[in-house]
Structure 1
Amino acid sequence: MIRRTVDKTSGSCGESASLRILFEGALWSGSDSYAYVRALRRAGHSVTAIEAANFLPTGWRSKWLRGLRRILEPWLIAEYERALIDMARHLSPQLFIGFKANYVTPAAMHVIKDTGAVAINVYPDVSFMAQGPRLPKTLPLYDWVFTTKTFGLKDLESTLGVRNASFFPPAYDPEVHAPCELDAADRAHYQADVSFIGSWSPKKEMVMAALAQAMPDARIRIWGNTWDRASSESLRSAIEGRVVTGLEYAKCVRASRINLGLLSEQVQGASSGDLITHRTFAMPACGGFMLHERTAEITQYFEEGIDCALFSDNEDLVAKARYYLDHESERAFVAEAGRARALRSGYSVDARIQEVLSRFEIIAARKRRSSGVSESDNPFNRGTG
């Protein structure tokens, strides 16, 4: 079996041996994690995936059920740990990828490493210290950590002593984040003047409330988790109380005249809040018009007024929203240019996995040299597995 290697700019393909990969991460359609699984399979690799949510029910909403989960959690995690260890021993993977992987235990990591696998973590969140007690113990055990936050490198070293790490930005999923046709039902369901797709935070509520108060006649809609925590009266009619994922995410972006890129604030264990995020790349890839919070980093990926619009504060947000709602042709031009920029600049998950695989080959070669294995004995070169 061969894998196809996609050049991020030209789209040309090369060939090399398939890898046997064990992948830990969320597997729901539209998740960043599952995008990596599909991209690895598109590249011709054999991917066996496990998801902690299959063992720990994350969707329970009632207080009684959440309390029951807290009581059962040690046994649920132990069951998950056994399943992960069994998979590693039976599969004997060449590469283990943990995408966030905050339920992976140190014991499981040691078994995975003992199989000879190279272990790489892709970490997409702001803080390494806000995801429970296991992650700070397991991250130092990986051969390499990729963080999608530039400040994550400093945080990894200062909090966990991890230096085997590098940055790459988030990515869009070409199977999900693409322009889609909308029928009348889609437009009725998702149409908006301004929309935000993402989870609640105090900062995001403050920004959205300021916009809603300044533009009471605009149709503003908010989709995402935990917005029931919002207390602003001006947002009552805007909060949908639902999550949109997969193709529905793309439809929502296409049906909104303006899509907001709001960033998470600084949390415990992080030296900064978000500077770019997943939606920075997903919204333009969907062909939507993006009005994004201004940071120094976003200007490295998109050009203001050409392929995105940026705002500096609440007053600027309101002014830009009013301007672009009144200038439809300019808005359409920026949206089209944003998608073109995302495609030609290699912002897709397929480009990201090439960085992961390149790092794997460097680490695997180093391990072979240290163990005295020659390149001619390298099973990766022979294409076995």
Structure 2
Amino acid sequence: MLLKQKRKINISAASEWDAGRESGWKHGYHVGTCEALIQKIPRSASVLRSLRVLYVRAGLRGPFPDMDQAVTDALRGMVSELIIASPPDNLIDLASRRRPDLVLVLHGTQVPVHQIKGIRSIGIKTAIWLVDEPYVTDVTTVIAPQYEWLFTHELAAIPMYRQLGCQVHYLPLAVNPAVYKPKYVPAHYQSDICFIGNAFHNRVRLIDRIAPALALRDTRIIGLFWKRLKRYKSLSKGIRISWISSEEAASYYNGAKIVINIHRSHDDKVHNKNSRNLPGLSINPRTYEIAAAGAFQLTDVRQDLSDFYVPGTELETYSSPNELADKIAYFLQNEQKRNQIALRGFIKTLEQHTYEKRLSQLLQIVFPS
């Protein structure tokens, strides 16, 4: 009897080892394919402009330090001189001493408007890139008119800013491919299904609806406030309640067979400052980040999604909890199709959706050649 039990344990352990080895081989093959594709993507040489740019960081935690890093990394290869400042700095004094061709501010909610007025009064161009719309429009509608150029990633916000007299331009979000990229990851980052993001109420409702299906799989949910789930107990072993770095998020994306993307709701009265109830029509940065990691993505639909990716070809979409659960089940069983879609989304992202591409557009608008 004891011998039979030992045999069963040995067979089980061997089976798990074989499954792990096969999974590791497949993951390595996918990463290798992505790396080979990178070499085939034509690299357009960055045009170095003879410009001095003063860049003002967002000055906030959360995703903003990574955005700041992505913008500064891109600008360094695009302008002859880059000066970096933070919202508490005396920006008027700095601008008057260094005389930049442009003061570019990210997000801008921490920058006192009198600083921007002062900079404009000495004849220096100012621009702001709003990257958290429509969730803070109660604040941004006050600060945005102080800038000469306004760039926003949110389609729904453009008519509003035009009514305020702003010179507004649509500039979508992007990805930093130096951070979000295909890579080999250890087993503790690997999963069947992964979602990264805070537990806004629309996300909680969706995850609760599909929790029975998620509980049957190796599911990872990472972010703040996830104890709000009604079905928290059934998913708790895969929930990590914390903020994680972009590098670690990229590791989870690389290790997941399916990454779910759930856009934040525009009408969340608890977390938003959007009293105009402006809808969210534009895709979030995670759309690009998941794709840049070479991961397969299942996302809800925003109006401008098809302007950037071809649904069903470069990523997959869902419009209801039932459709999401059905597509999770389907694509977990169809690895080849899953990987083909992920590879096409990966190529599209590197070719068209980097911060370098977006900032090139911005500089062309402010300094037309």
**TM norm. shorter chain > 0.5:** yes
Q: What is the CA-CA distance between 1:240 and the residue it aligns to?
A: 0.5
Whole-angstrom distance in 1 between the partners of 2:182 and 2:59: 24
Describe the superposition over 1:355-382 as per-residue Cα deviations: whole angstroms up to 9, x where unpaired.
Answer: 11112214xx9xxxxxxxxxxxxxxxxx
Instruction: Name the amino acid aligned to 1:40.
Output: L
CA distance 1:87–1:225, change in 2 (3 Å):
farther
* Equivalent residue, structure 1, for 2:27: none
Q: What is the CA-CA distance between 1:166 and the residue it aligns to?
A: 1.2
Asked whether the equivalents of residues 147 and 153 of structure 1 are also in contact (C-alpha less than 8 Å), the reply is yes
Asked whether the equivalents of residues 30 and 176 of structure 1 are also in contact (C-alpha less than 8 Å), the reply is no
Match of 1:154 among 148, 151, 159: 159
* Equivalent residue, structure 1, for 2:19: none
Matched, 1:358 2:364: yes
Match of 2:181 among 154, 178, 183: 178
1:122 alignment partner, SS class: strand
Q: What is the CA-CA distance between 1:27 and the residue it aligns to?
A: 8.2
Whole-angstrom distance in 2 between the partners of 1:195 and 1:231: 19
Whole-angstrom distance in 2 between the partners of 1:257 and 1:209: 21
Instruction: Name the amino acid aligned to 2:144.
Output: L
Identity of aligned residues (%): 20
Matched, 1:165 2:171: no
Asked whether the equivalents of residues 281 and 302 of structure 2 are also in contact (C-alpha less than 8 Å), the reply is no
Q: What is the CA-CA distance between 1:50 and the residue it aligns to?
A: 2.8
* Equivalent residue, structure 1, for 2:344: 337
1:236 alignment partner, SS class: helix
Describe the superposition over 1:329-379 as per-residue Cα deviations: whole angstroms up to 9, x where unpaired.
Answer: 2111111111012123x11110100111112214xx9xxxxxxxxxxxxxx
Q: What is the CA-CA distance between 1:105 and the residue it aligns to?
A: 1.3
Instruction: Name the amino acid aligned to 1:284.
Output: A
Q: What is the CA-CA distance between 1:222 and the residue it aligns to?
A: 1.6
Whole-angstrom distance in 2 between the partners of 1:105 and 1:15: 31
CA distance 1:215–1:181, change in 2 (3 Å):
closer
Match runs of 1:202-217 below 5 Å:
202-217=201-216
* Equivalent residue, structure 2, for 1:49: 84
* Equivalent residue, structure 2, for 1:24: 57
Asked whether the equivalents of residues 93 and 115 of structure 1 are also in contact (C-alpha less than 8 Å), the reply is no
Q: What is the CA-CA distance between 1:211 and the residue it aligns to?
A: 2.1
Asked whether the equivalents of residues 263 and 275 of structure 1 are also in contact (C-alpha less than 8 Å), the reply is no
Instruction: Name the amino acid aligned to 1:280.
Output: T
1:199 alignment partner, SS class: coil
* Equivalent residue, structure 1, for 2:218: 219
**Structure 2: where are the runs of 5+ without partners?**
1-40, 268-273
Match runs of 1:26-105 below 5 Å:
26=59, 31-52=66-87, 80=88, 83-105=90-112
Deviates more, 1:348-357 or 1:246-255: 246-255
Whole-angstrom distance in 2 between the partners of 1:352 and 1:275: 15
Whole-angstrom distance in 2 between the partners of 1:311 and 1:148: 22
TM-score scaled by length of structure 2 = 0.79
Describe the superposition over 1:231-267 as per-residue Cα deviations: whole angstroms up to 9, x where unpaired.
Answer: 5434433431122223222211101111111111113
Counting matched residue pairs gives: 319
CA distance 1:144–1:18, change in 2 (3 Å):
closer
